[in-house]
A and B are shown apart, each in its own frame.
Chain A
Amino acid sequence: MSESSLRLVWVYPDLLSTYGDQGNALVVERRARLRGLDVQRVDVRSDQPIPTSGDIYLIGGGEDRPQRLAAERLRRDGGLERAVSNGAIVFSVCAGYQILGHAFINDLGEREPGLGLLDVETVRGTGERCVGDVLADIDPQLGLPQLTGFENHQGVTQLGPTAKPFARVRLGRGNGTGDGTEGAYNETVFGTYMHGPVMARNPLIADLLLKLALDVNALPPVDDRWYEALRAERIAAATQPA
C-alpha cells in the first residue's frame, strides 16, 4: 500500500456495473473510512488506462456484449495484470470473474480469451439460467462466515489446479459445474457469482480485502448491526422458502 492513502480502483463502471456493482466499492470505501483510513477511489472508464499502483481493484457484472468489450480493452491495456504482479488485491463478480479466467464464451458464441489471473475457464451452460438467492460456506481457510448472495448467470466455470473454490453452495448453483463450488481464489485474486451486491450482505469480505491490502491480521470493529440484520433475514429467507 502507498504511504498516505488506500487506492481503491473500480474497473470499467461504464461496461461492468449492471447489478448494483457500485455497492461493493461503496462498502469497501465506507468500511475503510470508518477505520480512519484515507481512501482514494478511482473509477476507470474503459477508454482510460488502468492505473497499476492501486491497492484493491473491483470488477463487476455486466451483460454479454459489454463483457466482450471489457475483455478486449483490458487485454489491450495490460494494466490489471501489472497491478496484480505488483501485489494488488482483485475482487471480481460474475462477468468480471469470467474475464479474469483463461477464457469465456462471448456474445457472438466464440471463445474469448480472458486475462488468466485466475486459473478458471467458463463455458455457457445448456440448462436454465441460475437466478435466485444463494447460501454457501466460504473456504474455512479464509475465516469468513456463511456467504449470502443473489446469482443471475448462465456460466459454467471450471477450476484449474491453482484456483481454490471460494465457497461451497448449500442453496443455489454457484459455478454451475454441479460439484457445489462457488467462485474461485488464489493468493490475491478473488472471483464470485454473487450479486447483491455481495459486500452489502457479506461485509467481512470487504474487511478481508482491506486486511490483505494493508497486510494486517485484524481491523478495529465497526457497527455491523444493519448488516447482521440483513444477513439473518436473507439466510432465513433462503433456508425457509415461503
Chain B
Amino acid sequence: MAGNTEPLSPRAKLAVTAGKAAAAVSRAAGRGSGSVIGGKVALKLDPDLLGRLAQHLDVVLVSATNGKTTTTRLIAEALRASGPVVSNALGANMPAGITSALAGGSDARYGVIEVDEKYLAGVARDVTPKAIALLNLSRDQLDRAAETRMLAEKWREGLAGSKAVIIANCDDPLIVWSASSSQNVVWVAAGQEWKDDAWSCPACGGVMQRPGDDWFCGECGFRRPTPSWVLSGDHVLDPHGSAWPIHLQLPGRANKANAATSAAVAAVFGVPPQVALERMYQVQAVAGRYDVVNFQNRELRLLLAKNPAGWLETFSLIDPAPAPVILSVNARGADGTDTSWLWDVDYPRLAGHPIFVIGDRRLDLAVRLEVAGLDFRVCETLDEAVQLAPPGQIELIANYTAFQDVRRRVGN
C-alpha cells in the first residue's frame, strides 16, 4: 500500500532542497526548528508540493480542538509496526509545517499528519488521505476563530467527497455532524467530558437530550451512532467485542480516548489492536506536555490546557488534593486575546489544592478564583510560585504561550 514510487519532479526536488536550506538558516539563527519557514519557501517554489510529497505515502490526517498532537504521536508509534512513518510530531500543523515535515521523510511508507482545524478540508483535498481521525470540537480562541458549529459545517462539506476512512468520536455531536456526510465512517465511543458546545442540534437547532452517555435531538432524527470501537475504563473494545488493555505513560482519561481512536486507525492499516496499544506505551511526553521536570529541586509536571474542554480533562488527571497546583494564563496572539473563557472553566474542582497563580493574566485568574471561593496566592514568577508551594509533586497547568514560557524557564 506504499503508493507509487515515481520520483519527485525536478521542480519538486528543487523546492524540497530550497525549503531545507531555509530551515537550516532559520535554525542556525536560533529561530526555532525552521520547519514553518522551510515549508513556506518550498510551497512558494512548488505550490502543489504538499500533494506531490503525499503521493508516495499512505496518509492519515488527525484533527480536533484538543488532543491532536498526542494522537498523531500515538498513531505514528502504532503504524511503525508496519513501516517507516513521517509525521509533523512537533505540532507545526498548517500547510507550510506539514509540507516541511513530509519533505523530511523520503523513505517513509506512512504520513501521519496533525492538521489545524481550519485547514482540514483543504489539506484533505491536497493529500488524498487513506484515513482521517476526528476527535472533538469545542470553543477555542473566541476572538478570532469561526463559530465552533460553523467549523463542523465546513468539515462536513469538505469531507463529503473524500474516499478516506473517517475514524470519528461518536460521543461528540459536532464530530458526528462533521463526519455524517462521509461514506465510510468508523465510530469510536471515545467520550467527551465537555458538553457546552453541543446543546443545540447541529442539524436542526433543536435542544439536545443527553441521558447518561447517550445523546439525541428532541426534534429531528439526529442521534448518537452505534460505535464499533469503545473506550471502556482502561480497555478498548474492538469491533469483535474483544477487550484490549490500554497501558500508557501518558496520564488521564483523554489520553485513553486518544489511544482508543489510534487503535481504530491502526486497524485500518492492518495493525492489530494488541500490537498498536503495546507500541503506544513508548510515548512518554509530547512536545513537553506531561513531562515531569526537576526545577529548583522540586518535581513539576507540565500540563497544557488551552480551552475549557482541555482544562476539564486536565483537572480529572491531576493528583488529588493536597497536591500543589500552579496555574498560568496568558492572552497573547496564539492564545486568543479574549480571556472570558476562564469563566467556562470549572475551577471549583480545585478546592483543597494549594493554588498559585502566575502568567500575564494572573489577575483575571485571581478574580475567577475569588468568585469560585477558592484560596490562592498570586505570584510574580514561576520561581516564586515553586518556592511557596508546599511539599509534593507540583501540577503545573498552563495555556499555550504560558506553557512555552514555563518550558523555557525550566530548560525543558
Binding site for B on A (CB under 8 A): 13-15, 17-23, 26-27, 30, 45-47, 63-66, 69, 131-132, 150, 152, 195-197, 200, 226-227, 229-230, 233
Contact = CB atoms under 8 A, between A and B. Distances in A.
A124 B169 CA distance: 36
B268 to A, nearest CB: 34
Nearest to A227: B367
Contacts, number: 87
A19 B207 contact: no
A229 B366 contact: yes
Contact of A152 (B143, B207, B371): B143
Given A27-B371, A150-B337, A195-B340, 6 more contacts: A18-B139, A20-B340, A20-B342, A23-B368, A63-B150, A200-B368
Nearest to B373: A30
Interface in B9-67: none
Interface majority SS (helix, strand, loop, mixed), chain A: mixed
Given A46-B207, A150-B338, A200 B364 contact: yes
Interface of B: 139, 142-144, 147, 149-150, 196, 199-200, 205, 207, 218, 337-344, 363-364, 366-368, 370-373
Most chain-A Cβ atoms within 10 A of its Cβ — which of B342, B366, B368, B373? B368
A55 B337 CA distance: 34
Contacts of B144: 131
Nearest to A230: B363
Contacts of A65: 147, 149, 200, 205
Given A65-B149, A230-B366, A18 B207 contact: no
A23 B343 contact: yes
Contacts of B371: 23, 26-27, 30, 200
Given A18-B142, A46-B207, A200-B368, A64 B340 contact: no
Given A64-B147, A152-B338, A230-B366, A20 B343 contact: yes
B363 A233 contact: yes
A132 B144 CA distance: 11
Contacts of B344: 17, 20, 22
11 contacts: A13-B196, A19-B338, A20-B339, A20-B340, A22-B344, A45-B207, A152-B142, A152-B143, A200-B364, A200-B368, A230-B366
Nearest to B197: A18
B370 to A, nearest CB: 5
A69 B143 contact: no
Contacts of B367: 200, 226-227, 230
Contacts of A22: 343-344
A234 to B, nearest CB: 8
A20 B368 CA distance: 11
Contacts of A229: 363, 366
B338 A14 contact: no
B340 A19 contact: yes
Nearest to A229: B363
Contacts of B207: 14, 45-47
B143 A131 contact: yes
A230 B142 contact: no
Contacts of B139: 18
Contacts of A131: 143-144
Contact of B340 (A63, A66, A196): A196
A95 to B, nearest CB: 12
Contact of B366 (A21, A30, A150, A226): A226
A70 B372 CA distance: 28
Nearest to B207: A47
B65 to A, nearest CB: 14
A160 to B, nearest CB: 29
B199 A15 contact: yes
